Structure 1
Amino acid sequence: MTQFPAQSSVAAGPFSAWLRAMRRSLLGNEGMDVPCGDCVGCCVSGYSVQLRPEDHKAAARIPATFIVSAPGFTKGHLTVRPLSNGVCPMLDEGKCSIYSVRPQTCLDYDCRIFAAAGIDAGEGKDVINKRVHEWRFSYPERSDELEHAAVRAAATFIRDRRDSFTVRVPAGPMGIAVFAIKSYEVFLDAEISDKSDADVARAIIDAVRAFDSLQAG
């Protein structure tokens, strides 16, 4: 992670509790309750916001000029493009103007995922990266520490040992972090260091597929 000057810290909550909430969110079961405070990093960093068919209340509030079709999206899924300065068009005087009906994409977004994975959010995401470096998880149990270490180990492996995979894996920060959240249990194995990189890569893919099958079911 990039080194930032000394700054205040922001409580991110107990790690294991956060991890389980994030996994439930990735399965589409609930959104994340993020203690954003006055931070609007995700609203000013050039993100497009996916609109799913079930986001009809949000879509009804967003001017059509900002809604476009995006290549690769599932049929019926659209996206809200940011303004030229990277700001979400629904941000009004520093606040979300459709907060009560915001899309599921916004409910799911939690920049603590980057702090969990030990990586930055990417170039051009300075506001988010500042908050990423401020987050401080707590570890009330030994399992909190072990699980956080496993998530970071998974993210490091996915990022640095891409050649070990026989299928395409994410290269961007969010994709890497999500893969790590889905597959971290691989690195809870005490014998993981004895396995070849190819075996670890296969175990990661198997874990991700098993996780995704829960959503499909």
Structure 2
Amino acid sequence: MDGIVLASSSPRRRELLEKLGIDFRVIPPQIDETPFPDETPYSYVLRISTEKALSVSRSLSGNWIVIGADTTVTVDDEILGKPEDKEEARVILNKLSGREHTVITAFCIVRSKAEILHKQIVESKVKIKRLEPWEIEGYIKTGEPMDKAGAYGIQGIGAFMIEEIHGSYTNIVGLPLSQLIDVLTKLGVLKLFSCQDEHC
């Protein structure tokens, strides 16, 4: 195996993998991420994560393992992606205010030349406190909501609005590390520790 490639333009996914000390390359995929009409949030993230991994894998020569991932926020079965402008960020944050929502991340692992090895969806629940109008406006002015699904970053200033979470924290950030590492280890792609059993 030549190595691992993260098919992503997300700095947050890159930072998560870097914290584990994993050697990998980053290649941003070039795909259209527009949802299909009537596409469910689950179908959407699974399709986009797969397309990201396949797109990058087809551009590589050699034997690479490519990881694609996509995250969306959903409330009332509506996909809340990255806001295109401040007004959309305002609308999204008002929808999330005082409510629980679901963060869904799908990841797809592909071997070079489009051999799909694994696909998986992970979801987490997040409860947002009731937001005052001035909190929404102040948060939007920081610029943080603009490149994030659901218009907030739990790992940044957006932490001020989080009342509770259920499920994987790293899934909310953008990559469910526990599940991903488990799959990569079982596939023989990754050896996080020098010993892999109780006889270390």
TM-score category, normalised to shorter length: under 0.3
Q: State TM-score, norm by structure 2.
A: 0.26
Q: Which one has a larger percent helix, Structure 1 or Structure 2?
A: 1
Q: Which one has a larger percent strand, Structure 1 or Structure 2?
A: 2
